[in-house]
Amino acid sequence: MTERKPPDQSWESWVEEQIQNAQRGGEFDRLEGKGRPIPGIEEPYDPMWWVKKLLEREKLSVLPPALEVRAKADRMLDEVWTLPTEAHVIDRVAAINAEIARANRTTAAGPPTTLSPLDADTVLEQWRRRRRATSPEPHAKEQR
């Protein structure tokens, strides 16, 4: 829609013409969400809706640093259980511990951090137990 509005045409009629041309060209046929209700349409109006959506979409947080590191460590620990190898688990625990150490070292505002570094051996043993519990039992070889 890069063409200019003709000087002898009203804005309303020009915009309506652009919409009709787009409809005829099928430009509205494959829109994301077509046929589904608009999310949040029945919720009461919130003047801060756009801020909340931005925080959600960008995965931003307004928590104090001590609480943010706790939440981030919890999220990272939840991901540990899905990692494929012990090396990945050890690397992830090291990353979590680095985040905890950084927060413990630098947090000056808000509540104090009470989070201690994770013991890699303990996490690895839990990962192994969960892995054994969820992996299918090996089938006995069929005898002929």
pLDDT along the chain (144 residues), means of 10: 82 93 90 84 87 84 78 86 91 90 76 83 92 69 42
Into how many domains does the chain fold?
Answer: 1
pLDDT of 74 reads 87
Question: How much is the pLDDT for 87?
Answer: 93
Decide if 92 is inside a domain. Answer: yes
Assigned domain for 11 exists: no
pLDDT of 72 reads: 83
pTM of the shown model: 0.50
Q: What domain range is 125 assigned to? A: 65-134
Check residue 142 and give its pLDDT: 41
Give the model's pLDDT for residue 30.
85
> Domain for residue 40, yes or no?
no
Answer yes or no: is 139 within a domain. no
Query: What pLDDT score does 138 carry?
Result: 55
| Residue pair 124/89 in contact by the 8 Å Cβ criterion | yes
Position 137 scores a pLDDT of 60
